[in-house]
Structure 1
């Protein structure tokens, strides 16, 4: 199997007490006052140069900072997806400060050593408390999925997590119904990779290796499980390459909904329901005014990748992939 670059949002050890000032000008090259969100999502974009500079100044991992910033840029982008460099600088400063603060809260769990992939130890029942700390503070959604099975690749000396993921029964009914009707797998037999996080020191292909081990473990642990699924959001720069490297296939796409924000921070529908007991946009705006916002810029479809737990996973040509509405 050929080596494919992997997506891995991550974080490094916090050694800076406060976010440092970013450059005052956009990187050399852009002549326009604005840039599109799609351009920012490209790995070789001028936005990426700004992210690397900010990450180096603040001792945070570039990918983690990029993902968090991309999650928040749609809040201030225009209807056509254009955003100014000034707005990008503002969000980079905010997310640098946020990431620094979050790293401090889990500093005891952040690995610093470098290891070869074959030296890492696979843990099938990784500590739910440690996993929750990492997902609640370092994952871009900043929330763990309750009731999940947690898996990790840990360093061989201290047992610190290098790459980890949580797996839980699929709750997305629209996806479950489509999988059932098109591929004959009952929703109750589908398990979802609900969270993935990999630290900066993770070796190449750590996530795809972890996914392969998870598949093997679930085959024994949950005999009734037939399929693994996950959602990949390209608006955050993710391509799904780590899933392709683990022999997953893209089976369908999901039409996006606007991102939601409260007091300048992203909130998922699940978090809104837990915090405010509603996801109704009109109710939230009436109650909180400008504290509650939703993105206006066009967003790209999320991609649903799947992997059969037993046997090969079917390749589905793009023209046969269904586009689901939420």
Structure 2
């Protein structure tokens, strides 16, 4: 783990291995790495210590993929999703936007990916400013799903389905298991940002943003 503040010239971009999952599992607010992802990081040039990390994997969110295809004609198999981003204390202020630019450059060397997406949760104070600084644009919002907590810890829907294959919904799990709880406070919609791998990403006016329902 980094122990001091860094400047951007001290860091270099690298594709990193599964050890990044340990960071996402233990330090990311979701505490749940997306298995099978490609992991990237800005690391200390001298020691290889990761300072800012992200993971990317093929987009699996069908409704988001359908809207992307409607807007651009790009099929789901040509869209990848940035599912995790994490910066240690001491990372330079523009580390995330610089990492995103390097990830885009990485995908420009591939012929099978045309668009990147990510979800930003405003309920946790995120605004997407680092994405806007890196050629990303907000294209839609998605109705928020309640947070699920199991034994007092956050559990993602993906993790719930893997742990309880017979359970179909958060409410069903909460009714079946007293150790499961759901959030009760009304939540703001998730913001979906998109970035074309090649060329500029067009901005949409607020009235053109589509809201996807669960």
1:119 is displaced (CA, Å) by 1.9
Match of 1:213 in 2: 102
Indicate conservation of the 8 Å contact 2:141/2:190, yes or no.
yes
Structure having the larger proportion of residues in helix: 1
Q: Which residue of 180, 188, 193 corresponds with 1:292? A: 180
1:191 is the counterpart of 2:80:
yes
How far does residue 192 in structure 1 lie from its aligned partner after superposition?
0.5
The total of aligned residue pairs comes to 213
- The answer on 1:120 being equivalent to 2:11 is yes
The structure where strand makes up a greater share of residues is: 2
Matched, 1:163 2:48: no
Q: Distance in 1 between matches of 2:63 and 2:121?
A: 17
Note if 1:146 corresponds to 2:146.
no
The reply on whether 1:276 has 2:177 as its aligned counterpart is: no
Matched-pair contact (CA < 8 Å) for 1:135–1:143:
yes
Please report how far the alpha carbon of residue 282 of structure 1 lies from its aligned counterpart in structure 2 after TM superposition. 4.7
TM-score normalised to the size of structure 2? Answer: 0.96
Match of 1:244 in 2: 132
Structure 2: where are the runs of 5+ without partners? none
In terms of Rg, which structure is larger? 1
Deviates more, 1:291-300 or 1:236-245: 291-300
1:132-175 CA-partner distances (Å, limit 9, x unpaired):
11011001111111111111000122110000100100010000
Contact persistence 2:174–2:182 (CA under 8 A): no
Q: Residue by residue, what CA displacement relative to the aligned partner does 1:268-301 show, whole Å, maximum 9, x if unpaired?
A: 1111111122243454234312x21111211000
**How far apart, CA to CA, are the structure 1 residues paired with 2:180 and 2:4?**
41
RMSD: 1.2
Alignment of 1:92-103 (within 5 A): none
Q: Could you tell me which runs of 5 or more consecutive residues in structure 1 were left unpaired when the two chains were aligned.
A: 1-109
Tell me how far apart the structure 2 counterparts of residues 296 and 249 of structure 1 sit (CA, whole Å): 30
Query: Residues of 2 paired with 1:282 and 1:269: CA distance?
Result: 12
Distance 2:213 2:155 in 1: 20
Q: TM-score, normalised by structure 1?
A: 0.64
User: Whole-Å Cα distance in 2 between the matches of residues 265 and 114 of structure 1?
Assistant: 30
Q: Is the 8 A contact 1:114 1:202 kept in 2?
A: yes
Specify the SS of the correspondent of 1:307: strand
What stretches of structure 1 move > 6 A for 4+ residues in a row?
none
Q: Which residue of 2 aligns with 1:42?
A: none
8 Å CA contact 2:32–2:156 kept in 1: the answer is no
